[in-house]
Amino acid sequence: MAFIEDPAFVLSYLRQAFITSDDTGMSEMVLVDEDIEHWDSIKQEREGTPKTRSTSEKPQNLEYGDISQSFDITASSLDWGIRRRTNTAQRLEKLKKERQNQVRCRNVQWKEKSVDLSSEEMAGMFEKKDLSEKKSAAVPQHTSVLAEQLEQSPVLTNNPFIEFSKFDGKGHVGSTATKRVDIFLTMTTGKERNFPLTVVVLATARVQDLIGLICWQYTNEAKEPKLIENVEAYCLHIAEDDGEVDTDFPALDAKEPFAKFGFTTLALVEKPKDKEQQSEIMLVTVNVPHSGFSRIQVESLGLTMKEILHRALKRRKGRVDPSGPDYVLEKQSQPGVCVDLDSTLDSMNTMEFCLVRQHSTRGEVEEETEVNRNMSEMEASLSSLHYKSYRVNMFTKLRTSTIIQLGVSGEKIEIDPLTQHKSTAAKFLSKQKPVSYDADLVAACEVTDDKHGRETFRLTYQSGSDFKHHDFEASSSVATEVVTKINHILELRASPVRADYLAFKERKASKKHGLLS
């Protein structure tokens, strides 16, 4: 129990003790205001005291007299109650520990011989052994313990994960930093699945190394089924104590040091096979001289060129007679060189090809366009009647966007949804049925918004007696191309619907104008 007579000190102490470490703020309410009032009175009291005393108290005042206005000071920042031990104390303890270790370790210092040994002692210590007896008694051939053990131990099939065994921390506990983890093996069944494999890993290992170590131990213990001989086929997920894999969290990053994760229970999971690659849509462009080009969606790079040719011909049915002369594919960059139809798309190193008739060239077309560059406007309007497809985002009523294929030709405009690989919710909300609109029903197409290289455009069409619209979004170049193309078509066709729409718009505008004025 302390006996303190200075009220200023008591107040200061209370402030420090309560306010600074009180999260609720209650002590603040109780103490602060009165505190200040009291403070003033104390101060006045002090000023009345003789000069000599106040000077002697001045340094003390500095210590606790000024009220700190900051309540951000927390107990931890002040090390309240717990004082860090000094360096000296820590060093002393270390020395003490070392000394204790040395007590257990006997130290023998080399000493030069001080006394001459008697010949008797010398003889006792360094007498030569007679080897002639041993020579005569030939040791019969025996099998060593090692040989026996080797025979008994199961023939270890070459463990493909041997390189990771160096991260095994078993037998290092206490001498090196290690971590013990329970690993649930999701590929096993039955009892194996329910009980984790305990792995001791060096603290220096990365996640990848830990996976390797698990695989090594798994193989050593001859567990079934056999693992894929590649650590990259596996990943580590957070798991519950009962072995349930927590899939809400992503797998641990294989390149990170494992020690930074605090988990003691994990699950070894086989990675799903390259899901990402599947969901990526790849498009192959096949140019057809005189009649534009087609984009063909492919699901893998393993397709043969024959299949691509087949799809290209199918797509261009009507414009190119598939039953007619034979067609071949050339790389767009290499005119006149046919590609091997049995090779895969992967080996082509390009996604752009040209469809040409066998024994003919495509050169003339290119030359032609070269000559008639100034007629490009005209040509564009003519070629606008050709079918062309674009990949754009379509906004649904709920303003979610979905990728669709917009096919534009002189006759109609088609909207085909591309299969979605995203979450089920998005699929549900944005289901877009394939529709097509007769070109004669299309009323207008215009760019409505332009930001950061992405343009939004609106396609207006007649449905029954009123006009409806779809909103799309695409990169500026694509959007401009689509809008230009459709407008060309509309101009060329000059359908009554468009005339109606223009009149309707004019009326609306004048009405608005009227309302405003």
Partner 1 sequence: MSKDKRSTMGSNGVTNTDPVILATAGYDHTIRFWQAHSGICHRTVQHPDSQVNSLEITPDRQMIAAAGYQHIRMYDLNSNNPNPVVNYDGISKNVTAVGFHEDGKWMYTGGEDSCARIWDLRSRNLQCQRIFQVNAPINCVTLHPNQGELIVGDQTGAIHVWDLKTDHNEQLIPDPDASIQSVSIDADASYMAAVNNKGMCYVWTLSGGSGEEHTQLLPKTKIQAHKRYALKCKFSPDSTLLATTSADQSVNIWRTTDFSLKCNLALKNSTLTEQVQKRWVWDCAWSSDSQYLVTASSDNMARLWAVEQAEVKREYSGHQKAVICLAFNDCPPT
Place of tokens 């650590």: 231
C-beta of 153 vs 358, nearer to partner 1 = 153
C-beta of 160 vs 243, nearer to partner 1 = 160
Q: How far is the CB of 109 from partner 1 (least distance, A)?
A: 4
Q: Provide the β-strand partners of residue 327.
A: 357
- Residue 142 region, left (φ>0) first, then alpha (ψ -120 to 50), else beta? beta
Q: How far is the CB of 420 from partner 1 (least distance, A)?
A: 46
Residues in contact with partner 1 by CB under 8 A are 101, 104-113, 115, 117, 121-123, 125-132, 134-135, 139, 141-147, 149-150, 152-153, 156, 162-163, 165-166, 168, 170-176, 220
How far is the C-alpha of 21 from the C-alpha of 406, rounded, in Å?
65
Contact predicate 508/444, CB 8 Å:
no
Q: Nearest-5° angle of CA 355, CA 356, CA 359? A: 155
Q: For residue 414, which of 431, 390, 395 has the smallest C-alpha distance? A: 390
Q: How far is the CB of 230 from partner 1 (least distance, A)?
A: 17
C-beta of 72 vs 130, nearer to partner 1 = 130
Q: For residue 267, which of 282, 247, 294, 287 has the smallest C-alpha distance? A: 247
Contact predicate 239/265, CB 8 Å:
yes
How far is the C-alpha of 273 from the C-alpha of 249, rounded, in Å?
18
How far is the C-alpha of 322 from the C-alpha of 320, rounded, in Å?
6
Residue 459 structure tokens? 């396609």
* Residues contacting residue 383 through CB under 8 Å, at least 6 positions apart: 292
Count of CB atoms situated within 10 Å of the CB of 382: 13
Q: How far is the CB of 195 from partner 1 (least distance, A)?
A: 17
C-beta of 52 vs 141, nearer to partner 1 = 141
Q: How far is the CB of 203 from partner 1 (least distance, A)?
A: 13
C-beta of 65 vs 212, nearer to partner 1 = 212
C-beta of 150 vs 301, nearer to partner 1 = 150
Which helix (DSSP H) or strand (DSSP E) does residue 462 occupy? strand 454-463
Report helix angle 51-64 to 7-18, nearest 10: 0
Q: How far is the CB of 101 from partner 1 (least distance, A)?
A: 6
Q: How far is the CB of 175 from partner 1 (least distance, A)?
A: 4
C-beta of 1 vs 125, nearer to partner 1 = 125
Count of CB atoms situated within 10 Å of the CB of 90: 11
Q: Is omega for the bond preceding 225 within 30 degrees of 0, making it cis?
A: yes
Q: Nearest-5° angle of CA 320, CA 323, CA 325? A: 75
Q: How far is the CB of 204 from partner 1 (least distance, A)?
A: 9
C-beta of 139 vs 515, nearer to partner 1 = 139
C-beta of 203 vs 403, nearer to partner 1 = 203
Q: How far is the CB of 223 from partner 1 (least distance, A)?
A: 16
